[in-house]
Amino acid sequence: MEKNPIENSILKNINKPSDIKSLSEAELELLCTEIRQTLVDTVASTGGHLASNLGTVELTVAIHKMFSSPEDKIIWDVGHQAYAHKLLTGRRESFSTLRTEGGISGFVRPDESEHDSFYEGHAGTSVSQAAGVAAANAAKGSKNYAVAVIGDGSFGNGMVYEALDHAGSTRTRLIIILNDNEMSISENVGAMARYLAVVRAKPEYYRFKAGTEKALRKIPLVGKSLSNHLFRLKNTLKNIIYSSSFFEDLGFKYIGPVDGHDIGHLCDAMDSAKMVEKPVIIHVNTVKGRGYDHAENFPEKFHGISKFDINTGEPLQSSGSYSSEFGRIICDFASKDKRICAITAAMALGTGLEEFSKSYSDRFFDVGIAEEHAVTFGSGLSAGGMLPVFAVYSTFLQRCADQLIHDGALQRRKLIIAVDRAGFVGEDGETHQGLFDVSLMQSLPNTTVYSPATYCEMSKAFYNAFYKDTNLVVIRYPRGRMPSDTEYADLCAGDCEIIGNPDAEIALVTYGRLFFNAEKALKILGDKAANMKIIKLNCIKPIPEEAVDSALGCKNVFFFEEGMRGGGVGEKFGCELLLRGFKSDYKLVAVENEFVAHASVDRLMEKYSMSPEKMAYIIEEETAV
C-alpha cells in the first residue's frame, strides 16, 4: 500500500453512519480502500492496533450500512478493532490524534461518542452486554437491535459461553457477529457447504422459508406434521454438511460462514439476520492485516505496534524491554530445570514468551484468552510437581481475583505470576493501565510480591520465586526498557536497598522503575540531597523490616508509588511507621481515586508528580525551612 492521497475521496464526506446508506456497492468498496489507507498512515504515526482493524473494514462498513447507530447498539468486543467505526461515526477529522494526550482513544468509550455503547478494553464482554441491551429493548417494546462484534480469539473466553447459554434461551433482537480471523474454514466446509452458506445468508431464503412453512401448516390434518418432518430432515442434512449444530443447540440461528470482505454478502447476511425472531450468530471470515502486506504476512507483529516505517513495516523504536528480558530469564532457568513451564493467555509475543514457546514447546501452554482458567490451570500444574509461571499483563490479571485467592493463595500452591505492563502503560489508556494489581495483592495471605527495577533484580526475584519462596509469588515489572542513563543498571539488591547516606533525615521511598526517577531527582536537588536517601523496595509484600527501620528516624519521608493510593504499598508503609511510633512528616504521592486516561508514560509521570522534576519540586517545597 503506497502512502499517496486518494483523489475523489468518499471518506471526507462521511460525517455520520447514515451518510453511507445511499452509497452503491462500488462506492462502498472505494470507501474501504480509503479507510485502509487512513488506518495505515495514522497508526504508522501514532502506534496502535493495525492488523485487526484492517481485517474489519468491510465488516464495519456493512454494519453501519445495515443498522442504525446509535439507536441500534453496536458493541465491539475489546474495542481494538473499531478504528473504522470511529472514522464513520464523526471522528474522521480527529483521527490523527489517535492515542495521543487529549486525542481520541484507541478503544471505544461512551464519553467520546454516542455511537460507542460501552468502555471496552478486555475480551469476552460484548455478548453479555449485548444480551443485556437486547433484553432491555424487549422489556421496553423497542424494535432496535443489539449487535455484538467479537473475534474468534475472544470467543475462547469463558464469559462468552455463560452469555451464550443464557441469551440463546431468550426471544430478543440480539445479533452476534463472530469475526473469525484466525481459523480457516474447516475441511468439512467444502464446495456444497460454501454454496449453502451463501444461499442461507440471502434474505430471499428466509422469505421463501417462512412462506413455505406457513403454507405447509395450512394443509388439513397433515400440514403441521409434514412441516415438522421437513424441519427435522433439513436439520439432519445441514448437520451432515457442517458436522456441527452447536450454536443452534444453544438456541441461536446460525448464518455463515460469510466472506468478511464481500460487502454484498455481508449486507445480505445482516438483512437475513434481522428477519429472524430469535438471537442470531453470523459467522464471518476475515483476514488480519488485509490490504497492507506487512501486516497481512505478520499479523501478530502488527496486532499492537509502536510507530513504524510504512515502506518496511519496521518499528521506529529500538528493541529490548522488560518483557524480552523476562523471556530470556525464564528460558535460562528452564534450560536447567525441567519442572519450569510457562503459561500465556494468547499473549506469547507480547509477554516475551515466543522463544520459550519454540525451545520448550512441551512445557509451554497457551490457554487462549482465558486468564481465570490460566491461574487455576497453573495451580493444577503446581499440584502435579511443576513450577508454573503465568505471564500476564497487569490489566488482565484483574480478571483473576477469585482464582488468585481461591486457587492460588488459599491452596498454598507454588504458583508464579509474572505481571507485565505494571504501572502506567501510556497510550492504551484507562482499560489498560496496570495500576490495580498491587492493591489486590496486598490483601492476599500466603503471597510474596516483588517489584524489581533492574534486569539483574528481575533474575534474582525469579530465582527466589523458584527456589526460596513458598506459595503464591508475584513478580511485577513495567512496559518499556530499563533506562540506559542510570548509574545502577547492574544493581542486584536484596529485598530492599538503601541508596545514599544511611543516616540521612530525609527519605524517598519507592519501588520498581520509579527508583530511576528518584535517582534523577536527587541529582536535580544537587547539594541539598546530601541529607537525603532512597529506600528502594524490591519486595513490596511483605514490606522488609529494614526499610521501615531506615525510615523511622527520618524527619521527612516521601513515598512515591506508580499505582493506586487506596490499598497500595505507600498506605501500608505509612501504617507500619505509625504503629512503631513515627511522629514526623509522611507524604504519599500516588494515583488518587480515578482512572488514568491515555497519554505518553513520560507525560503521565509528570501529571501525577512522579517525574524526576516533580519529585524534586515536592521534596524541596516540603522540606524548605
Interval 19-37: pLDDT, tens:
999 999 999 999 999 999 9
Buried b (16+ CB within 10 A) or exposed e, 475-513: bbbbbbbbbeebebeebebebbbbbbeeebebbbbbbbb
Cell output for 239: 448437520
**Strand 415-420 versus strand 387-393 pairing type:** parallel
User: What pLDDT is attached to residue 625?
Assistant: 43
In this predicted structure, the answer to whether residue 121 has a pLDDT above a threshold of 60 is yes
Residues written for the chain: 625
Q: Given this model, what pLDDT does residue 157 score?
A: 87
pLDDT digits (tens, 9 = 90+) for 233-284: 555 545 544 445 688 888 999 888 889 999 999 999 999 999 988 999 998 9
- For residues 316 and 310, what is the distance between their CA atoms, to the nearest angstrom? 10
Q: What is the DSSP letter of 339?
A: T
Q: What are the tens digits of pLDDT across the range 415-463? A: 999 999 999 999 999 999 999 999 999 999 999 999 999 999 999 999 9
Spatial separation of the C-alpha atoms in residues 42 and 221, rounded to whole Å: 66
The C-alpha cell that represents 37 in the structure block: 489507507
User: Do the strands 496-500 and 532-537 form a parallel or antiparallel pair, or are they unpaired?
Assistant: antiparallel
Q: What is the DSSP string of 302-329?
A: TTSB-SB-TTT--BSS----HHHHHHHH
Report the percent of the chain where pLDDT is more than 70.
88
Q: Quote the pLDDT of residue 8.
A: 52
Range with the poorest average pLDDT among 179-193, 269-283, 404-418, 532-546: 179-193
Mean pLDDT across the chain, nearest whole number? 89
Please provide residue 622's backbone torsions phi and psi, each rounded to the nearest 5 degrees: -75, -25
The pLDDT-based confidence of 199 (bands split at 50, 70, 90) is: very low
The pLDDT value recorded for residue 15 is 94
pTM above 0.85, yes or no: yes
The residues annotated with a catalytic role in the active site are 288, 371, 399
Mean pLDDT of 209-215: 54
pLDDT at 302: 86
pLDDT tens digits, 472-522 = 999 999 999 999 999 999 999 899 999 999 999 999 999 999 999 999 999
pLDDT recorded at residue 317: 74
Residue 317 or 305, more confident: 305
pLDDT band at 339 (very low <50, low <70, confident <90, very high): very high
Using CA atoms, how far apart are residues 438 and 565, in angstroms rounded to an integer? 10
| Residues 156/162/164/170 CA torsion (nearest 10 deg) | -170
Find out whether 615 and 517 touch, Cβ atoms under 8 Å.
Answer: yes
User: Residue 260: which of 161, 183, 359, 360 has the closest Cα?
Assistant: 183
In this predicted structure, what is the pLDDT of residue 105?
93
Is the pLDDT confidence value at 149 over 60?
A: yes
